[in-house]
Structure 1
Amino acid sequence: MRARRFALLAAAAALLVGAAPAPDPAPAPVLPGFGKILIASDSTASVYGEDRYPQTGWGQMLPCGLDAGTEVVDLAMAGRSTKTFIGEGRWDGLMARVQPGDVVLIQFGHNDAYKAKPERYADPATTYRDNLLRFIWQVRGARAIPVLVTPVGQHMFGPDGKAKANFADWSAVMRELSTPTQTPLIDLEGLSRAWLDQTGEAASRGYYLHAPAGAFPGFPKGIDDDTHFSELGARRIADLVAGALKELNLPLSGHVLAERPLLLRTTPLGRRGCQ
């Protein structure tokens, strides 16, 4: 009798267990929210003092396209390639500041392509590629988001009237790495060349660092530079970067202003601020 009662109780318990709802699935891991932007790059993105006005880096103007309180840490440095950025300890210094949720913009190529200075040169298929992979994995290891940015175009045009792709091999490596590593990419070379083509060679000249003698204290002899930007040029390139960031669907994307009038100015402010 007792054995039969025990069997009935066991059967009832089994029915109750079978009828019980399945436990809720484990919650998805909570990813860190957006923190700040850090920029690893060269002179085209770096910060310049008032003594160098109108020379301006696009990274210097990027905050003007973001909502108030979004922090941009611009660690770009003139003359640096992936090779020297690592060799001088600048990359390690940047990584020491990276926190979960940060976005690291990585734009190199101008100096990596400079064969006349072997200390800078990084072969696109080997050294440059390996350095980019190191950047990607280390940023990911810090639970931050790497974004590859192809080298920005120069004010140089071919016989067909189109802006030249002077860093095509280095840009190609970035594009090639983006897919298998699932790394967000801003094709700034393509975006800037399309903008140059649309604007035209003559009209776009003022966006680069061209000034006659005596126009600016920092350049008493004048300057003709087809690589670096004036205030207006830096604003316009920063707008291209900001627009691309908004389209990447990252946590950062919601902090990019839908309208960026300060970056799309047609006359210089005579300063680099966002006020």
Structure 2
Amino acid sequence: MTSRQRSFAPMAGWGQALPLFIPSAEVINCARAGASSRSFMERGRMAWILREAQPGDLVLLSFGLIDMKPDEGRHTEPFKEYQRRLRGCVDGVRGRGAHPVLVTSHERRVFDAQGNLRRLLGVYPLAMREVAVEKSVPLIDLNEWSVRRWREAGPEGTRRIFLYLAPGEHPNYPEGVADNTHLKVDGAIECARFIARELRDRSMLEPGCFADLERLDHSEDGVEWLEEDVFDELVRTRTLETVE
């Protein structure tokens, strides 16, 4: 979801591209790179959101892509800590009079030798779906949509969606890059379009908030990247001390 610095372009998060389709609503992207549900809460980022959230706000919560990593300090077990932290986020948002929306993480781009997409997120999307049912929270299933989309595009077509660049193709990646986790701007726009359509079709925002949902010619220039000093300032100021 993260809004990336200009030096990372054309890598982009779908939260960064969401304003293309919701120009009449204020989109505040509080996502942070490499954050799991655990680290996001422990570093005080959720605490900042809960302090700033206003009654009637929509708060989109998407975790799982990093929770599955074995790293100490970020890993959560899907049906234990992961679900517990999702419940805490939901309850906290509702306590502010705002409306939580759970969003499953998009799948990674990993195909086997026969061209079949592997579902590396495992049961994390299922764990989130369970919390959505249990807490009666709207759920946008980006994971299932992405699985269908990545399968349709196949191993070659998904190179346009994910951060694949040949050496010399982009000045930010002079040696090239092959990244099966992070989206290129085209992929971020596709995911953001799906999210916006779900918000519209399920009447989570007023119809007049949306625009250009059928437009297919959005370019890299239409997405805003952050300058390094702005990015650093947002990381610093959107964090509160918290006690577990």
Unaligned runs of 5+ residues in structure 1 are: 1-44
> Which of 150, 160, 179 in structure 2 is aligned with 1:225?
179
2:132 alignment partner in structure 1: 178
Counterpart CA distance in 2 for 1:134 and 1:143 is 15
- Counterpart in the other structure of 2:223: 272
In 2, the alpha carbon distance for the partners of 1:238 and 1:142 equals 26
Give the structure 2 partner of residue 143 of structure 1: 97
Q: Structure 1's 252 and 175: CA in aligned 2 closer, same or farther, altered over 3 A? A: farther
What is the match of residue 236 of structure 2?
Answer: none
Conserved 8 A contact 1:207-1:232: yes
Aligned partner of 2:163 in structure 1 is: 209
Matched, 1:62 2:18: yes
CA contact (8 A) 2:64 2:105 kept: yes
Is 1:198 the counterpart of 2:149? The answer is no
Deviation by residue 1:130-185 (Cα, 9 ceiling, x = unmatched):
00000111111111110001111111224563432211311111111111211000
RMSD: 1.9
Find 1:168's aligned residue among 103, 122, 139: 122
Structure of larger gyration radius: 1
Do 1:99 and 1:144's aligned partners in 2 also have CA atoms closer than 8 Å? yes
User: Aligned equivalents of 1:228 and 1:80: distance in 2?
Assistant: 13
Deviation at 1:49, TM superposition (A): 2.1
Q: Which has the higher contact order (CA 8 A, sep 6+)?
A: 2
Tell me: CA distance 1:244–1:158, structure 2 relative to 1, closer, same or farther (3 Å): farther
> CA, structure 1 residues 163+245, in 2 after alignment: closer, same or farther (shift >3 Å)?
farther
Pick the aligned partner of 1:255 from 205, 209, 229.
Answer: 209
Letter aligned with residue 241 of structure 1 = I
Judging changes above 3 Å, is the alpha-carbon distance between structure 1 residues 131 and 254 closer, same or farther for their aligned structure 2 residues? farther
Which of the numbers 130, 134, 139 marks the counterpart of 2:88?
134
Identity of aligned residues (%): 29
Which residue is 2:8 aligned to?
52
Aligned residues: 225
Q: Is 1:97 paired with 2:48? A: no
Conservation of the 8 A alpha-carbon contact between 1:54 and 1:270: no
Structure-2-length-normalised TM-score: 0.86
Q: Is the 8 A contact 1:245 1:253 kept in 2?
A: no
SS of corresponding position for 1:205: coil
Kept in 1: contact 2:20–2:223 (CA 8 A) = no
2:74 to 120, 142, 154: 120
Residue segments in structure 2 that go unaligned for 5+ positions in a row: 225-244
Once superposed, which parts of structure 1, at least 4 consecutive aligned residues long, lie more than 4 Å away? Answer: none
Contact 1:102 1:145 in 2 (8 A): yes
Matching residue's letter, 2:90: I
**8 Å contact from structure 1 (residues 184, 248) kept in 2:** no
Q: Distance in 2 between matches of 1:218 and 1:247?
A: 37
Equivalent AA in structure 2 for residue 175 of structure 1: R
Q: How many Å separate the matches in 2 of 1:151 and 1:127?
A: 17
Query: Contact 2:197/2:213 (CA < 8 Å) preserved in 1?
Result: no
